[in-house]
Structure 1
């Protein structure tokens, strides 16, 4: 009976010690600056381009990280978008609006 109580106490002690681990917060005097994104620098988007941006983020960002528009040239984006259109199951008007959005960011 004593061995069962000791085993139970050891198991409880182990579970409690694993679950209540806390780390001390490190105070810093330096405040991080807000990152400036490319979209913050660009002119405000028209409603059509805003919708295309939303479509780009939701359709393309579902499977992989989103690339900045300036990472590729307009000629490099054409085959990328054509290849991804089939995988994302986008119709021609949707891919055209995404293409217009990307071209507006170049």
Structure 2
């Protein structure tokens, strides 16, 4: 009788201490990475270096194309960027949407 209780206690301890296997969940769809052309890489660099001076960088997908337009117009003045640089940044952001 004691051996059965002891065996049950050991089995219970081993079972409760065993590592739990993670539940199988559906994998989220993998976002297709866009290969950056030299022009897009330049836009990313401008975005990273100029926008991060004043605030955290937002992922391009955080906003829609329509939401980005006024943001970029407003930030162009603050960051003192010319139209060519803004086109480059806009192209980069749009390529990531």
Q: TM-score, normalised by structure 1?
A: 0.61
Correspondence for 1:82: 73
Higher relative contact order at CA 8 Å, sep ≥6: structure 1 or structure 2?
A: 2
Query: In structure 1, what is the Cα distance between the partners aligned to 2:93 and 2:41?
Result: 11
Correspondence for 2:62: 71
| Structure 2, unpaired ranges of 5+ | 1-30
Contact 2:34–2:96 under 8 Å retained in 1: no
| Structure 1, unpaired ranges of 5+ | 1-39
Q: TM-score, normalised by structure 2?
A: 0.66
Runs (4+) of structure 1 moved beyond 4 Å? none
User: Residues 39-78 of structure 1 correspond to what in structure 2 (within 5 A)?
Assistant: 42-78=33-69
Query: In structure 2, what is the Cα distance between the partners aligned to 1:43 and 1:84?
Result: 25
Query: In structure 2, what is the Cα distance between the partners aligned to 1:98 and 1:61?
Result: 13
